[in-house]
């Protein structure tokens, strides 16, 4: 049986103004890399708010791998549901974004075996990303029953990330 993957954009809050979804175009390239490794991919080319993630995952239930491109935009008022909340030391252990993702994965009949969570490259400095939030989320996801989580722990250009993904998934499919 051919393994499957769901690739989507996940936003902490509503997409704001003039968002053409350019970052989501990179999901096609990732799908091609996974396809070469023998993984059938479904790509959702829109930003899904974390609040609607449970329903989105329910619609696509039964995939082996999930690839979330994470956008930290928050709400126009900067409400605390954004993953990166510098007023609380970058993240709070039970922030709304983490809870929403965990709840969505818990609601699945069969959660993915592997979750890949990658930040959208910001317009500003890369060091503004809350890398610790991604690591904290990875820990929570594994505690919730997903076998593995792959995420970045620091900045990595897209070409290097894709160069890593190809052999990673090739090896994963070949020998686990």
The DSSP 8-state label assigned to residue 12 in this structure reads S
Q: What is the pLDDT of residues 134-168, one digit of tens each?
A: 888 899 999 989 999 998 877 788 889 889 999 99
Report pTM: 0.84
Q: What is the pLDDT of residues 18-70, one digit of tens each?
A: 455 778 888 999 999 999 999 999 999 888 988 899 999 999 888 999 999 98
Q: How many residues does the chain have?
A: 176
Report the percentage of the chain scoring pLDDT > 70: 78
Q: Which residues contact 169 (CB under 8 A, 6 or more apart)?
A: 33, 34, 37, 39
Give the CA angle between residues 52, 138, 112 to the nearest 5°.
60
């Amino acid at each position: 049986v051919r393994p499957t993957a769901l690739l989507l954009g996940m936003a902490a809050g509503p997409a704001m103004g003039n968002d053409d979804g350019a970052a989501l175009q990179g999901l096609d390239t990732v799908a091609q890399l996974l396809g070469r490794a023998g993984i059938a991919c479904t790509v959702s080319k829109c930003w899904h708010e974390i609040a609607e993630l449970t329903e989105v995952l329910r619609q696509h239930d039964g995939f082996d791998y999930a690839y979330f491109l994470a956008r930290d935009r928050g709400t126009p008022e900067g409400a605390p549901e954004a993953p990166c909340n510098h007023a609380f030391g970058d993240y709070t252990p039970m922030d709304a974004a983490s809870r929403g993702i965990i709840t969505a994965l818990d609601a699945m009949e069969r959660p993915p075996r592997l979750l890949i969570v990658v930040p959208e490259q910001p317009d500003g400095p890369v060091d503004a990303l809350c890398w610790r939030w991604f690591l904290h989320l990875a820990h929570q996801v594994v505690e919730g029953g997903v076998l593995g989580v792959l995420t970045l722990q620091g900045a990595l250009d897209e070409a290097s990330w894709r160069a890593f993904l190809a052999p990673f998934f090739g090896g994963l499919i070949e020998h686990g």
